[in-house]
Every structure is written in C-alpha cells, then in structure tokens.
Structure 1
C-alpha cells in the first residue's frame, strides 16, 4: 500500500479528476507588446470508484475466552489487521497482474525499461519490485571485477538499489514465482494504482446472535 497512491474518500462511490501524462508543449514566443496567445490545457481523466466491503467471521470458544479474555481479543485484533493488509495487497497485485507483461531475459532488459520504455519522469521515481526468488537472483549478480551489482542504500544499509533505483522485496507467499519465472515490476506504482480508502475498519463481536448462543461461542 505504501508504494501506490492512497486517496482518502468520505463517500461509498464517486469520482476523481486525475491529470494524464501527456506531451507538454512549450510556450510560444511573442513580440514586444504583442498579444499573448492561449496555451494548451492540462489533460484530465475521470476515474470513478466504488467502495466494496470486505469481512470475515471468526468463532471463539467462550470457555477459552473466560480463561484468557484480554490476551485472546488483543491477539485477534492484531490478526484482523494482518488480514486487512493481505486483502489490500491482493487487490493491488491483481491490478498489476492484469497489466501487459514482457519477458526480462537479463539486466539489459531492465535497464532498457528504465532508459527507454518508461517516460523519464516516471523512470526517475521508479522502483524495482520483486519477490524473494527474484531478489536472490539479482543479489548474486557480479560485474567483471567480481563486485556485486546491487548496492547498499547509504542511509539504509539493509536495503539495496539497482541502477540507482530502490529494490523492494515482497514475500514469495504474496508475490509468487510462476513456471520458474520470478516477477519483476519496474515503474512508479504511485502513477499506476490508486487505492480509494474510506478509512472505516471495525471489529465487533456477539455471544448471542449468529448462532453463538447455541454453540457457546463468541463470534468476532
């Protein structure tokens, strides 16, 4: 989520006007005391959104809760936060997975993507996202002098960069290797994905409704 654009919204549906990346034409020159001509307009596109609810029901034994009520509910609250993160990750990755794919046969293809395929404005803010398998491959590459190609980020010695761009590593469980090929996502994800967030998350429970009373459970 931290790598895409997050747009807080207050309603369940609506739209936002976003500026499209396009060719920027220069100002025209004018004669002294000459009339200033109209310039071209920024180009906008309308992006509609519709908030969808996601939820899950977790039954807990009342006997267990009576023994360790506070500890169990605290654990469950943290567990639901992890589920929320996993849900958002799956939605973001589903959009990225739907984009056109190309095969990277080596580092030259990644370099060409940064140099040519992406607009310079996008390339400047690009990251290189991959999973553990992809990172393991990149992390073992060396130049002719035997020096590793991945470099430490000076202020963050545990993080790496390639061609001056941050390398972001995602768990294999989340970003999967398919048919022996590790995924590599190159670009500025804030320009690719917008997450509309109504910022309404809640945890509630009952020990009477939803069949809880009959089964002596509390459903969260």
Structure 2
C-alpha cells in the first residue's frame, strides 16, 4: 500500500510535468507557472513520503511502476547550466527576460552563486541602499529633511497657529543595460561541468561587482568635491557638515592610497590612530579623541586616485552614511548569449575556435540624500609640502 501511494504520486508528478510543458507551448505562461507550483508541491510530498517509507532504499520502488512513469530527478544546476552553455543557450527554456534583448536568463540558483562571488570581494553595493525592482522605470516618494521648530506657546482661548506641513520629494529611476563579453576556448566547453560553470560564474560575478562599483562611484562623484588637507578637516565634516544626524552611522570609504595616509597618522603619544576594531579585528577604524569612525578600503584598481597632468595625486574620501545617501535600483535580471562566429575588434570567434559569451544586467543609481555624505579629495602633494617645511 505504501509503495502504491508513492506510485500514485509519481504518476501525478509526470502528468503535471506534461501539463506544464503543454501550457508553456501554448503560450499560457501564467497557467504554466501555476501548474509548476503544483508540480513543486507534489514533488515535495513525494520526497517527504519517500524519506519516511523507504529511508534506506536505493530510490527504486519494489512494486512495478505505472506505465510511462519516470522518477523525477532532482535538478543539478551546475550540469544544467554547463550543458546550456555548451549548446550556446539554444533550445533551452527562457525563465524570464526581455524578448527584445534575447538571451538566456541566468537561473536563480546560478545567479545566487554569482552574487556570492560578487560579495566575496570589495564591493560598494553593501554600503548603499539597494532596492530590487521589477519594472524598467518608476519613482519613489521621500519625506524631505526639515528643521523641526517645536510647538509655540498659546494663550487661553487664543487660536493655535498653523505649523509647517511635511514636505515630500519624488525620486525617479530608469533601468539601464550594462553589458560585456568574455571569449573562451571551445576546449573549455568540452571540459567538466564544474570548470565551465565556475569560469562563467567568476566572470559574471567579478564584472558585475566592478560595474556596480563604477555606477555607485559615478553617482557619488556628482556631489561637489570638497578638498581636505588633514584629519582635522575629516573631523569637521563629521561633526559639523554631517552633524549628529549621520555621524553615528558614517564611514570613511577610501582606496589603498588613502589607507597608506591614514595608516601613518599618530597622536601626541606616538600611537597610530588607525586601529582594528576589538569586536571585529577585520574592521579598521580611526580613533582620534572623541571621533571613532569605521574605515572601508577599496583597492586602487576599483577606486583609483585622480592623477592630474601636474602630477598631483588626489585621493578620494567618501565620508558619511551611504545607506541614506545613495539609492541603487537593481532589476536583478541577468541574461547571457553566445556566438561562435562573432568578430569583435581583432577577435574572430570563428577563426580562433572560440565561443564569445555576452552578458547583460540592468540597474540604476540615484542620490537619495545629498546631506548624508561628502565626497572629499586629499592631495598627496600636501604631504610633500608639509615634509619640506618640517
């Protein structure tokens, strides 16, 4: 009886699979999605009963299976993605995406691995406010920052005066496409599933990370630059420009050049001001009197200093709360295509026996609150001048 129940579920699963395929082929996408959810529930029920009824079994039912019934195998995302890549992402079902762009939408489980890889390196995305969106354009409403004036004294029987009402502002976004390509040898495509998938995930993840860093930095740089000449200027930005509204949640974000300068600062006791946080030794912070501020370091390659024609090296310092300052709209939709005949510059896929992968992702970035951070620059030439005067 137990095996009979499993057989009935198995037959229901296969019937539901056929239904999903038929609905999809007929273009009834919403109905196909609903049927897919039913299929998922049936599969979970089958797996649950199988674990209880036959926990030590080899996956085979002792009773004869119903005619045409095929056990449903768990998906191996690595193999599926590798096989799709080998076929040039042809003859595979697109899960989402824009028909105008074409391409194979990277599956959710593979995109999760891309996100994990992207987060493993220095990324500014964790510092800003990220919102996942499903529409190519839209707008959001925010309450404007305003100075509260408090209630006023009113005499007995006198009229209460009107107070200033809250003011609001709207932020509009419009998703843009960002794309790049990767040529790979066809020998790689004949390699193991793990190698193929790992290569593509590392490429997608790293390119996506750098792309997002660039988008965020370009947005931050729309702020008016403020020159700083030393630590006192940074403290003034924190204490006065940002004030108590943002000081407690602020960070200093700079590059390797900025780290080198901060790492040389000492107090009157000849103690270095840049120290690891005792609660989190991997987190650096500046400890200068009453000011204790976390420091986030981005490699020069991702956040380069500005080298002028006069040879001045100006180091970027983003000081403040980027969660409140910058809004990143992520459509969370990455698609990928391949070509064996494309020619890009001196690169000819057909002649060189290559396959060129092209990836597209979609996002936008806006200033959310310009009062929440300051984009500053420190000219390293000032150090030379001070040293020559010492």
Q: TM-score category by the smaller chain?
A: 0.7 to 0.9
Preserved CA contact (<8 Å) 1:134 1:183: yes
How far is 1:32 from its partner?
8.1
Deviations 1:144-168 (A, max 9, x none): 1111112321211132212211111
Matched, 1:186 2:334: no
5+ residue gaps, structure 1: none
Matched, 1:40 2:168: no
Matched, 1:22 2:146: yes
Map of 1:218 onto structure 2: 355
Map of 1:7 onto structure 2: 131
Map of 1:54 onto structure 2: 178
Preserved CA contact (<8 Å) 1:127 1:166: yes
RMSD of aligned alpha carbons: 2.5
Map of 1:169 onto structure 2: 297
Q: TM-score, normalised by structure 1?
A: 0.87
2:179 partner SS: coil
> Which structure is higher in helix share?
2
Correspondence list, 1:1-220, <5 A: 1-28=125-152, 39-68=163-192, 70-162=194-286, 163-178=291-306, 179-205=312-338, 214=350, 216-220=353-357
How far is 1:141 from its partner?
1.0
Once residues 213 and 169 of structure 1 are traced to their aligned partners in structure 2, the CA distance between those partners, rounded to angstroms, is 39
Indicate the structure (1 or 2) with the bigger Cα radius of gyration. 2
Q: TM-score, normalised by structure 2?
A: 0.51
Once residues 9 and 37 of structure 1 are traced to their aligned partners in structure 2, the CA distance between those partners, rounded to angstroms, is 42
Once residues 210 and 32 of structure 1 are traced to their aligned partners in structure 2, the CA distance between those partners, rounded to angstroms, is 84
Residue 83 and residue 33 in structure 1: after superposition, are their counterparts in 2 closer, same or farther (change >3 A)? farther
Preserved CA contact (<8 Å) 2:339 2:355: yes
5+ residue gaps, structure 2: 1-124, 307-311, 358-390
How far is 1:56 from its partner?
2.1
Map of 2:368 onto structure 1: none
How far is 1:182 from its partner?
1.5
Once residues 301 and 246 of structure 2 are traced to their aligned partners in structure 1, the CA distance between those partners, rounded to angstroms, is 28
Once residues 195 and 164 of structure 2 are traced to their aligned partners in structure 1, the CA distance between those partners, rounded to angstroms, is 62
Residue 34 and residue 151 in structure 1: after superposition, are their counterparts in 2 closer, same or farther (change >3 A)? farther
Preserved CA contact (<8 Å) 2:349 2:356: no
